[in-house]
Amino acid sequence: MPTPIVSTPIVPTPRGRRRASRAWARAALVALLAVGALLVAPAGRAGDAEAAKSWRDLNGRVAPDLVFAETALGLKAGTKLSSLRNKSVVVLAFWLRDCPHCKRELPKLQALHERSSQSGLQVISICHRFPLKEVTPSMAKHGWTFPVARDPTGALANRYGGGRRPGFYVIGIDGRVKASNSLSNRVIETELGRWRLAELGPVPAVLKKARDAVYGRDYGTALRAAEAVGRTPGVTADVRSAITRLTTIAGRKLQNRVDRAEAWHKQGKTAAARQEYRGILAAFKGTSLEARAKTLAQNFESRAGSSKKGD
User: Average of pLDDT values for 114-126?
Assistant: 96
Q: What is the DSSP letter of 214?
A: H
Give domain status of residue 265, yes or no: yes
pLDDT of residue 8 exceeding 50, the answer is no
pLDDT of residue 28 exceeding 90, the answer is no
Confidence of residue 239 (pLDDT cuts 50, 70, 90): very high
User: Average of pLDDT values for 205-216?
Assistant: 98
Least confident of 29-33, 70-74, 102-106: 29-33
pLDDT of residue 238 exceeding 90, the answer is yes
Q: Are 81 and 66 in contact (CB under 8 A)?
A: yes
Q: Are 68 and 132 in contact (CB under 8 A)?
A: no
175 and 211 fall within a common domain:
no
138 and 269 fall within a common domain:
no
Phi-psi category of residue 129: left, alpha or beta, with phi > 0 → left and psi -120 to 50 → alpha: left
Give domain status of residue 145, yes or no: yes
Quick one: pLDDT at residue 37?
41
pLDDT of residue 46 exceeding 70, the answer is no
Distance of CA 225 to the CA centre of its chain: 32
Give domain status of residue 2, yes or no: no
User: Average of pLDDT values for 61-68?
Assistant: 98
220 and 291 fall within a common domain:
yes
Range of the domain at 264: 201-310
184 and 223 fall within a common domain:
no
176 and 66 fall within a common domain:
yes
187 and 208 fall within a common domain:
no
Quick one: pLDDT at residue 309?
54
Distance of CA 53 to the CA centre of its chain: 22
Quick one: pLDDT at residue 305?
84
Quick one: pLDDT at residue 298?
97
Give domain status of residue 3, yes or no: no
168 and 269 fall within a common domain:
no
247 and 153 fall within a common domain:
no
Give domain status of residue 60, yes or no: yes
60 and 155 fall within a common domain:
yes
Higher pLDDT, 135 or 30: 135
Name the percent of the chain lying above pLDDT 70: 81
Quick one: pLDDT at residue 34?
45
Q: CA geometry: angle at 145 spanning 142 and 146, to 5°? A: 120
pLDDT of residue 26 exceeding 90, the answer is no
Element of type H or E holding 94: strand 89-95
Long-range contact pairs involving 281-286 (C-beta distance under 8 Å, separation at least 24): 282/220, 283/218, 283/219, 283/220, 283/254, 284/219, 284/220, 284/223, 284/250, 284/254, 285/220, 286/224
Which of 165, 191, 217 is the C-terminal boundary of a domain? Answer: 191
User: Average of pLDDT values for 153-181?
Assistant: 97
Q: CA 247, CA 238: separation in Å to the nearest integer?
A: 14
Q: Are 96 and 154 in contact (CB under 8 A)?
A: no
Return the CATH number at 165: 3.40.30.10
Total domains present in the chain: 2
What value does the mean pLDDT of the chain take? 88
Quick one: pLDDT at residue 53?
80
